[in-house]
Structure 1
């Protein structure tokens, strides 16, 4: 019983942590915010049906270290490829998950494709 209770408490903490990332879902708003704050844009292309995207949401983006680095250094934009086909085509986000780092003018700086553990992502951003 203790193991189950501890596990449940851990899950509750992860939910709290996961919800602390505030993603924008409007490309134009994110570009304007990046220009105003002089930050890069971290674009996370995902789909609800993508198992690795769900894993990134539950594991990678739940990491406090990842959250801290992302929120301090980037405007965060999360785009569903099914709801935003023009953006996914523009940036050729065909494999999921795809992360694209943009400058404040919307120009691509870096591209990361596939599932990234917290450690892998931190080493690339």
Structure 2
């Protein structure tokens, strides 16, 4: 009986893990390695702890099954705290926090030399920016963007 229960719990775990419940977020370092092994498009979500629309996207957009599925199947995803103090090693360079915001956030997500979260970037498999969004995106709008890029 114990073996039977163990097999059932193992199978349930395998089935559940096959149906992702959340986005597989990578660090920039993991992204660097992944792009070298298997290039594919990238979505980067820049956020801050004080950004209310960032929290709303976490709760109402990045938690939707259709968004999770689309991102996990077709994109590498990076979620990055724009105010982190941690140095980031990416593409053979080291990036640091230089002001209120991290150098990577300013380099990739600034508009007219200003950074205001949330910022969502879509990049191709060569890490070339295809589109940038400087606003809250609903799950429907984000899905439309993901499917057309």
Bin the TM-score by the shorter chain: 0.7 to 0.9
Stretch moving more, 28-37 or 72-81:
28-37
Does 2:69 match 1:68? yes
Aligned-residue Cα RMSD (Å) equals 2.0
Is 1:116 aligned to 2:137, yes or no? yes
Greater fraction helix: 1
Secondary structure in 2 aligned to 1:119?
helix
Does the CA contact (< 8 Å) of 2:21 and 2:68 recur in 1?
no
- In the other structure, the counterpart of 2:108 is 91
1:100 aligns with 2:101: no
CA distance in 1, matches of 2:127, 2:52: 28
Q: Deviations over 1:67-119 (max 9, x none)?
A: 00000011110110001601111113312111111223322111122111110
Equivalent in the alignment of 1:41: 42
Aligned length: 108
* Structure 1 Cα separation of the partners of residues 66 and 145 of structure 2: 13
Residues of 2 paired with 1:39 and 1:92: CA distance? Answer: 20
**1:24 paired to 2:26:** yes
Kept after mapping to 2: 8 A contact 1:35/1:104 = no
* Residue deviations 1:17-62 (CA, integer Å, cap 9, x gap): 996222112x232133134222111111001110000000001001
Per the normalisation by structure 1, the TM-score is: 0.77
Contact 1:31–1:41, Cα closer than 8 Å, also in 2:
no
Q: Which runs of 5+ in 2 are unaligned?
A: 1-18, 85-96
Q: Structure 1 residues 27-36 or 75-84, which shifts more?
A: 27-36
CA contact (8 A) 2:67 2:139 kept: yes
Query: Which fold has the larger relative contact order, with Cα–Cα distance below 8 Å and residues 6 or more apart in sequence?
Result: 1
Task: Tell me the TM-score normalised to structure 2 length.
Answer: 0.66
